[in-house]
Structure 1
Amino acid sequence: MNTFIYFFLAFGYLCLLIWGLILSKKSVLNLTNVLLLVIIGLIYDNFIIAIGRFIGEGNLLQGLSYGRFLLHALFTPTLILFAWRICFKLGLPWAKQTYWKVIFSFLTIGLILYELLTSVIGLKLRSKEEHGLLTYERIDSASPVMVIFVTLVLLIVGIILMKKFHFSWLFIGTTVMIVGSLLARWITHIPIMNGLEFLLILSLLLTRQFQVRESEKLN
């Protein structure tokens, strides 16, 4: 059952990627397109988990699994730049200030470096067979610092968009992610967090779509 869920999520992310590419066709060189990198990383992550038991335990699956953690460290912090750029494109005065551009940029770079140093370099994995899945997971526990910062930024921007434009999807997506992460501590037999990640990315794409439409109105 879980294998099917991960295949379904990988396919779902592929559909979201296509949607994201369509939204970005008129502005290829745009920082909001970092969201596409995050989606690519999630396609890879869910697909590798789905095919793990077909590959079998060994160096191949272990090597492919390293890629999951590397892409997470490289791409997920860029959602901070995505959030800032959305505000910039929507014409919010504070987002146009150089000060905030520098802050968001340095925060993103800092979190990427932090993840690489603490979560990727020296990463040790062990095989894990559970609920019909064969994966390689980290031996030690992952630091929540990066995820906390990214979630906090998305939540704040979600509140700003809700108050300024009456657009609620980013706030809803982030809030559901936060609440769901608490529930996931008790429900472990189904991949709740992966499903919640999908809903969050969906809310980010809805935010991107809203920004594109608002920008077209201004032009």
Structure 2
Amino acid sequence: MVDTALYFSFTALYIALLGWGLFLYRNRINQSFAYFLLVVTLGLIYDNGLLATGIFIGEGSTLETLNLWRFLGHAFFTPTLVLFALGIGRHAELQWAKKSVTLYSFLLITIALILYELTEITHQTLQPVVEYGVLRYTLVGGSSGPPIMVLIVTFILLLVSISLFRHTKWSVMMLGVILMMLGSAMPLPIESGAVTNTFELIFMTALFMTMSKFLPKEAG
């Protein structure tokens, strides 16, 4: 039940991050691609909340449907981090981020990743899994190997964070991305399925810190 408690904790912390983001929305410029980060955070609140409560809901059609929506949310929301990166680049006055070709390229990449992920979901089935006291449904029957969508999103965030560091010396976003990559790639000798989520929380916190750093205040 340790993992269940951790997922409850993650849910609460993501709610706090969302509150921070809404505060920024009220007090900073409120027309920005950077606010797609709030959409991703909503998905993570749902994701961690469902992982925390799955054992109490119990195996069956209800939990299966709720998990399907978890994967659909992941498909729709996670690719929008590409647009978040574009928004941060624009607010940081990075020249490449201001070009029209960059805007259209990032929009196309986001749409393509959403469609790809939705296609992957339709070719898989949901099966119940109990791991470290956590009951969830997982997708099986898809293509083997690392998740392509997540790899592409992470690579774009890494490139943007490096550009941000080179031009502004802001290293928080870059360190957050690198830590998440290391946490996902390195097997750790810990009996828990929530370890990756810990690195994900650190990563998201770094993105919120970056948004707070570069979102300008409304004029007047």
Same fold at TM > 0.5? yes
For 2:109 and 2:153, the matched residues in 1 are separated by 10
1:124 equivalent in structure 2: 125
Letter in 2 for 1:162: F
For 2:219 and 2:159, the matched residues in 1 are separated by 24
For 1:14 and 1:149, the matched residues in 2 are separated by 26
Q: Contact 1:129/1:135 (CA < 8 Å) preserved in 2?
A: yes
Residues 126-172 of structure 1 deviation map (CA, whole Å, 9 limit, x = unaligned): 11112111111112356511111110111111111111111001000
| Number of corresponding residues | 216
1:122 positional shift: 3.8
2:14 equivalent in structure 1: 13
Match of 2:180 among 177, 180, 183: 177
Counterparts of 1:64-103 in structure 2 under 5 Å?
Answer: 64-103=66-105
TM-score normalised to the size of structure 2? Answer: 0.92
For 2:175 and 2:85, the matched residues in 1 are separated by 15
Structure 1: gaps (5+ residues): none
For 1:46 and 1:210, the matched residues in 2 are separated by 27
1:191 equivalent in structure 2: 194
Deviating 4+ runs (over 4 angstroms) = 185-188, 216-219
Structure having greater relative contact order (Cα 8 Å, sep ≥ 6): 2
1:135 equivalent in structure 2: 136
1:38 equivalent in structure 2: 40
Q: Contact 1:13/1:39 (CA < 8 Å) preserved in 2?
A: yes
1:28 positional shift: 3.1
Q: Secondary structure at the match of 1:82?
A: helix
Letter in 1 for 2:147: P
In structure 2, relative to structure 1, the CA distance for the partners of 1:28 and 1:217 (3 Å cut) is closer
Q: Secondary structure at the match of 1:129?
A: strand
**1:152 maps onto 2:160 in alignment:** no
Q: Contact 2:173/2:207 (CA < 8 Å) preserved in 1?
A: yes
Letter in 1 for 2:73: L
1:121 positional shift: 1.8
For 1:27 and 1:218, the matched residues in 2 are separated by 8
TM-score normalised to the size of structure 1? Answer: 0.93
In structure 2, relative to structure 1, the CA distance for the partners of 1:24 and 1:140 (3 Å cut) is same
Letter in 2 for 1:128: V
Q: Secondary structure at the match of 1:127?
A: strand
Match of 1:111 among 110, 113, 116: 113
Q: Percent sequence identity over matched residues?
A: 37
1:198 positional shift: 0.7
Match of 2:169 among 152, 166, 170: 166
